[in-house]
Amino acid sequence: MKMTDPASYREVVGNVAVPIGDIPGRGYVQRNNRGLTMQIAELTHRYGDDASEHVHRAVVDLADHMQRYLETYPMDFPPLFPIGALRETVLFHEIVEYQSNMTFTSNWQKELYNLQKQLWADNLTTDKPRWLQTSLGVTPGNRLCTLNLSAAEDGVHGLLAGGTGSGKSELLTTLIANLAIRYDPAMLNFVLVDFKGGGTFKPFENLPHVVENVSNLNKSAVQRMFTSIRAEMERRQRLNTEQDVSDIVDYRKKKYHLNSGEPYPHLMIIIDEYAEMITENPDFQSELDSITRLGRALGVHLILASQRPIGVTDQMRDNIKLRICLRVQEIETSREMLRRSDAAFLPGVPGRGYLQIGNENIELIQTAYLGDSVPAQNLDETSNFFKAILDNCNALIGDRKPQSPWPPELPAKLPVDHRFNPRYLDLESGKKAVEGDTPLLQPAVIDWLNGKGKWSTPDWSAPVMQLIVGALDEPHRARQSPLRIDLTRGNVVLFGGSGWGKTSFLRSLVVSAAASYSPADLQVYIIDLGRRELAELSDLPHVGTVIMPDEEGFEERVQQLIRDITAMTNARKRLFTDLYGYNASAQRAGQKTYPAVLVVIDNFDEFIEAFEEYSRAEDNLSVLEAFIALVRQSRAYGFHFVVTASRPNTFSSKLYSLFPERMSLKLANPDDYSTIFGKVPGGLDPISGRGYMKRGQNVLQFQTAVLPAEASPNADLEKIVQERKQLYTAIQEQGLKVAYDKPFSIEPLATSLSYRRLLAQVNRFDSQKSFVEQLKGWMDHKWQQTASQEEADWLQVLIGTAAGNRPRTLVWEAQRDGVHGMIAGGTGSGKSEVLKTLISGLALNYSPEILNFVLVDYKGGGAFSAFENLPHCVDMLTNLDKSSVDRMFTAITSEIERRQQLGEIVEYRKKGKHITGESYPHLFVIIDEYAEMIDDSEEYQERLDSITRTGRAQGVHLLLAAQKPKGVTSQMRANIRMRLCLKVEERDTSVEMLSRPDAAQLPSIPGRGYLQIGNQGVELLQAAWSGEQLDDDRQYADDAVVNPSTGGTHFYDIAVKLSNELVEEHQIQIRKPWP
């Protein structure tokens, strides 16, 4: 027809020759590549201004003539259908009315309920099951748009696109609601994923069909969802194969889903803003591709919605047949969806869009709105009609709420009384739990809390030491089960950042162990370098010791623990090669079994830092190396180590290999997960106690269990502490009723140690009776015992306490602690007090017939004045009378020569020759400040050297003391095995004594020092103090309390007094070795 630009005619009809002018209806038509002039005929002539009206009347007249003709001459032809204008708003309840061929009345709630009930029943039990159907809205002509979600018809999967305000979210809501009305949850489940972090699917939280509702705010849940879907598809593939069916409809047609068969509902996965999901997590694209490829026959439907549909692979596009494109902002988006631009030009009517099935033509559609009348302004607002649908669903489902194909996520707070759903639980036998049986997570712990706790004797031939500490999530198997730490599989390391639950994990582990095994079957030792919260576990009878770094003697206590466990390991090596195999045999034979030992270290990073270079003199190993050696050799003998650390890179490869069972809570650096496990699924949620562990090739998540009070939403610290105390007390009280070898304790050394109290403790004196009276009775017994021929032995004396606050007795024998000794200590170190304690202790053990003292104070003071009246003392002198010193050495030399004629002292006494023959007591020579003596005369050094060489077998003991030891020849050092170094001022002094500087770093505690025997390692020692004020508390016949010395009486004074009383009572004749 007429065009503005004449040049445009060529593009349409080719060359034209004659102008057409301005005549209505005049134009060109192409014939044989030429543009010929034409004129359109009109139905009637046009007259004036009402020409259009004339034409309209002519058309009406023509129609009337045709209608009359048909009435006169009837004929058959297909009925015509009207095509009205597409409505701008279609309400959801209208769609329900259309598809059900009904009209709701004022009693619509009941009518809707009955309709849902009928639809659910029909679709669940029909003899002709079909694929899912849904009605989303209307097409032009007000025709209902019903989709058949099968591969052969409208497609199993769908793709939705729509810009802001296009009604995309409302469309998804309509889809879910329409399907929920039609289908029972036993036939259809939803997985809803909102990847824009909004509330698109929030209204469906309580819809019974929904088995998972996640958002991008919880990315690990999205990863878990895909893993679970993959597992569910594998299950469905297995069902298809086992039942020899082609797809889900065939399975239901044969009614395998009934009669207690495995459930097989349709599973519809709806992901809003899937494009954002793929952009942030490219790995998820392969998951979507897998679902579209494999899900068709398995009844797994995928609906993807986005503002801009990107990331759809060609493979996915081939499998996604259904596409709905609402109004979009960009032409490219429309072309991506429909291969044409039309959706970019749609009017701004929410819900208006184009529907395309496969590669067919597009069809205009108006989707329904789930509202009462018009779209609400607030998108979170729900209509009464929707609420009725939701209420009906929950009412119809009643108590038979269907099980999700996979378990829900692990709770953020997991109580020990958590009950497992049997559907997702594998029993130890490998069979599923019985329906109705909901096993407890930690029944043993609950029994103790309820006052019903007890220990059963373990069957050592069965799996043992499998401690439940939480729950394990296995989405790849659709399983959730107790997290068992199998200590027999290897030592365990748990990594985790600060505040993410490492200490709570260890607490749960120890509590589980204590609740499951009696202290006769399990011992626990703890090094708490973390938050210092494990000390409370010391109330359990299984726990031998809890060592913390802020306590005195921490380093030595740790070393002592390693020594003790090493000693236990070596002792077991001589008995068996495998603890559990031995215990099984011993149990069958009714013989003694040995306990397993659990060593727990919290914050192993600090352990490494403290002991990596802290070396032991006995083997030049660092304490860390000694620990590594212990861990390596002890596992077979029932020793298990569980440690926590902040990062894996703090472990050397040698150390790391000793902990094959590796777990991790949340880490500060996510890259560290790959160091521990390789590739991990998603990320850990910021939940205390949530972590990863590896089972087989799968990295799984777990949650640590806590006591019920701690898991409470309104957790109260006071209640938490009270509940723990209740549990520990119950176990402790039961422990009192069980016979077992108590685990050894390594207590911190006391800062002041009373010799009186130490003796009372070791010898179990009655605190309600007179101490002095008991001490005298004990002395009398010891004197008689040690004087007997049968008890002849080398001298022994209780000196104080060593690591673990254990009493330390020195045995003055060449093969034990040595015949001779040396003590060093600076001013205020307690050196003089140690000498007094040694003298007092020896005097308490032995009568003057068995032991004599020669006391030399070479600093001119009164160090030994308290022992002037001690009957054991045969000589006492000072540097103030040097001639007497010379005389002493001469006398000692003569005495040694005399004794050499008699033979070795212990052998002599064992034969009873000291009773009938010559006197042969031990002679203890103690010289304070011997270094000053050597300075006075080099000859004295030779004399001392001679005594150390020749006096050993003859019972002549030499104890040298000085502030700064010197003049000790290599020969003397070889013969002086016992060396005690108290605090000294200079490092060189410590090195001279111990070959290490440690004594210079000791705290200023009198009597605190390092004891070294030969070239062995040092042990921390607290020497006892015998200078304590002590009155004579004995009662006499008149019941009067006698205090002979009401002021200034010390323990060593009592020792002297009691010695003299016993000498007098037994009329002991003291024979001094020289006049």
Whole-structure pTM value: 0.77
Concatenated DSSP letters of 1002-1017: --S-TTEEEEEETTS-
Sign of the alpha-carbon dihedral angle for 110, 116, 122, 124: negative
Closest C-alpha to 198, from 270, 273, 268: 273
Q: Is residue 681 a contact partner of residue 667, using CB atoms and an 8 Å limit?
A: no
Element (H, E) at 213: strand 210-215
Q: Is residue 798 a contact partner of residue 807, using CB atoms and an 8 Å limit?
A: yes
Best mean pLDDT range from 506-520, 553-567, 1016-1030: 506-520
What span, in angstroms and rounded, lies between the C-alpha atoms of 232 and 224? 12
What span, in angstroms and rounded, lies between the C-alpha atoms of 840 and 1056? 8
What span, in angstroms and rounded, lies between the C-alpha atoms of 15 and 7? 10
Q: Is residue 604 a contact partner of residue 650, using CB atoms and an 8 Å limit?
A: yes
Quick: pLDDT tens for 965-1011: 887 778 888 899 999 999 999 988 998 898 888 888 888 999 999 99
Concatenated DSSP letters of 430-471: SSBPPTT---BS-HHHHHHHTT--------TTS---EEEEEE
At 357, is the secondary structure helix, strand, or coil?
A: strand
pLDDT value for 1046: 42
Quick: pLDDT tens for 761-788: 999 999 899 999 999 999 999 999 999 9
Quick: pLDDT tens for 383-431: 688 899 999 999 999 888 778 899 999 999 999 999 998 888 875 434 4
What span, in angstroms and rounded, lies between the C-alpha atoms of 284 and 277? 7
CB-neighbour burial class of residue 263 (10 A; exposed 0-12, middle 13-18, buried 19+): middle
pLDDT value for 423: 85
What span, in angstroms and rounded, lies between the C-alpha atoms of 201 and 192? 7
Mean pLDDT of the chain: 89
Q: Is residue 366 a contact partner of residue 90, using CB atoms and an 8 Å limit?
A: yes
Q: Is residue 334 a contact partner of residue 317, using CB atoms and an 8 Å limit?
A: no
Quick: pLDDT tens for 78-133: 877 667 778 888 999 999 998 888 888 888 889 999 999 999 998 887 777 899 99
pLDDT value for 49: 65
For β-strands 363-367 and 352-357, DSSP reports them as antiparallel
Q: Is residue 389 a contact partner of residue 115, using CB atoms and an 8 Å limit?
A: no
Rg over CA atoms, the chain: 48
What span, in angstroms and rounded, lies between the C-alpha atoms of 406 and 93? 33
Write down all domains in the chain, each with its CATH number in brackets.
8-39 (no CATH), 92-397 (3.40.50.300), 443-735 (3.40.50.300), 778-1065 (3.40.50.300)
Residue 886 contacts by C-beta under 8 Å, 6 or more apart in sequence?
A: none
Token pair 């045995």: residue: 811
Element (H, E) at 569: helix 554-573
- The token duo for 945 is 């050297």
For β-strands 133-139 and 143-148, DSSP reports them as antiparallel
pLDDT value for 855: 95
pLDDT value for 47: 63
Closest C-alpha to 926, from 974, 872, 1007: 872
- The token duo for 462 is 């069965």
Quick: pLDDT tens for 171-210: 999 999 999 999 999 999 999 999 887 678 989 999 999 9
pLDDT value for 9: 86
Closest C-alpha to 525, from 465, 600, 629, 608: 600
pLDDT value for 382: 52
User: For 71-80, 132-141, 320-329, which range has the lowest pLDDT when averaged over its residues?
Assistant: 71-80
CB-neighbour burial class of residue 339 (10 A; exposed 0-12, middle 13-18, buried 19+): exposed
Residue 971 contacts by C-beta under 8 Å, 6 or more apart in sequence?
A: 945, 948, 949
At 860, is the secondary structure helix, strand, or coil?
A: coil
| Percent of the chain predicted with pLDDT > 90 | 63
Dihedral of the alpha carbons of 527, 528, 529, 531, in degrees to the nearest 10: 170
What span, in angstroms and rounded, lies between the C-alpha atoms of 991 and 984? 10
Looking at residue 102, its amino acid is M
pLDDT value for 1041: 44
Q: Decide if pLDDT at 211 tops 50.
A: yes
Q: What distance lies between CA 145 and its chain's CA centroid?
A: 54
pLDDT value for 614: 66
Quick: pLDDT tens for 818-862: 999 999 999 999 999 999 999 999 999 999 999 999 999 988 778
pLDDT value for 497: 94
- Give the strand order in the sheet containing 15-16: 15-16, 34-39, 26-31
At 764, is the secondary structure helix, strand, or coil?
A: coil
Quick: pLDDT tens for 631-679: 999 999 999 999 999 999 999 999 999 999 999 999 999 999 999 999 8
Q: Decide if pLDDT at 550 tops 90.
A: no
Closest C-alpha to 699, from 223, 218, 212, 216: 223
What span, in angstroms and rounded, lies between the C-alpha atoms of 941 and 883? 16
What is the mean predicted confidence (pLDDT) over 866-894?
Answer: 91
Element (H, E) at 323: strand 322-326
Q: Is residue 846 a contact partner of residue 793, using CB atoms and an 8 Å limit?
A: no
Band of residue 598 on the pLDDT scale cut at 50, 70, 90: very high
SS3 content of the chain, % helix, strand, coil (to 5): 40, 20, 40
Band of residue 451 on the pLDDT scale cut at 50, 70, 90: very high
Q: Decide if pLDDT at 592 tops 90.
A: yes
